[in-house]
Amino acid sequence: MKKTILSEKELSLIEEIIVRYGLVTTFEQIYGILEKQITRQSAKNLINKLTKNGWLVRIKKGTYAISSLESRGFLETHTFKVAQILVQDSYISFAAALQHHGMFDQMLKTVTSVSLKRYQTKEVQGTIYKFINTKSKLFFGWENTSIENSIVKIATSEKAMLDILQFSRDRYAVDLVAEILREHRKQIDFDRLNSFVEKYSRVVQRVIGFLFDNLSIDSGHLYHLTEMDNSSSYMTTGSKIFNAKWRLYYPEGFKVETE
């Protein structure tokens, strides 16, 4: 990146953007400030220059974040806010939501959201933004959270766990949900979890019930949902050991740590 100094007019523009719109802005907002001074094309050229030199960071077409003067070219806007900007009709879930609730402490390289339509995975300043497509019946279970003066939709911890099992049900995913249930039992609203799980697939209901039994959590509601269904489910691909109560195949060697 070139080392450039803002001209007085450019600095004045950035200050005006921050005053009016904060650290995230759009082309139309910037042009609204400039339209009495320059043409639309000139405004595009100026924005391209500021982006090339690191003063603006492009989030998506027509939307930009202002980088700090100290770390020019590095996006300081919260990753959750960026995810919401990328796809407004979405909510943040999976490990990112669990981290928000203090239940996941590993560094996040990917922020995964759930949306009603298919969207391409995007990378912005080293963070990968992934969007999982779902049906309308599973598009629920978030809380509106204020982040940097913007409303961001973040899944409750109960919804995030169910989304993990619905959309990413491998050994790691099941182990993660079991760990959350074990380590953060007091923080989990089990009435809400039992209510949410009614809308999920039979296999998710069975996996949660199986984990509840292993962790000595009341599984009566889940068993009532599944007991009349004589079909069988697989916890993960290649699962071979059969649990008769839940009619669930689980992997060899799978064990839920209880302490």
Is the pLDDT at 82 greater than 80? The verdict is yes
Is the pLDDT at 250 greater than 80? The verdict is yes
Mean pLDDT of 196-212: 97
pLDDT at 1: 45
pLDDT at 211: 97
Residue 108 contacts residue 95 (beta carbons within 8 Å): yes
Query: Is 57 within the bounds of a domain?
Result: yes
How far is C-alpha 15 from the geometric centre of its chain's CA atoms?
Answer: 31
Is the pLDDT at 73 greater than 60? The verdict is no
Q: How far apart are CA 15 and CA 30, in angstroms?
A: 11
CA angle 134, 128, 30 (to 5 degrees): 95
What is the average pLDDT score of the chain? 91
Is the pLDDT at 66 greater than 90? The verdict is no
Query: Is 230 within the bounds of a domain?
Result: yes
pLDDT at 54: 82
Mean pLDDT of 92-101: 97
Q: How far apart are CA 53 and CA 7, in angstroms?
A: 12
Mean pLDDT of 197-201: 97
Query: Is 193 within the bounds of a domain?
Result: yes
Which of 155, 173, 200 is the last residue before a domain boundary?
155
Is the pLDDT at 95 greater than 50? The verdict is yes
Which of 155, 176, 207 is the last residue before a domain boundary?
155
CATH number, position 12: 1.10.10.10
Domain extent for 32: 8-66
Q: What is the number of structural domains in the chain? A: 3
Is the pLDDT at 70 greater than 80? The verdict is no
Is the pLDDT at 44 greater than 60? The verdict is yes
Closest CA relative to residue 236, chosen from 198, 207, 197: 207
Query: Is 94 within the bounds of a domain?
Result: yes
* Range from 10-19, 34-43, 52-61 that averages highest in pLDDT: 34-43
Q: Could you tell me which residues come within 8 angstroms of residue 117 by beta carbon, excluding any fewer than 6 positions away?
A: 89, 133
- Please compute Rg for the chain using Cα positions: 23
Mean pLDDT of 75-81: 82
CA angle 161, 114, 26 (to 5 degrees): 135
Tell me, letter by letter, the H, E, C secondary structure of 11-33: HHHHHHHHHHHCCEEEHHHHHHH
pLDDT at 259: 64
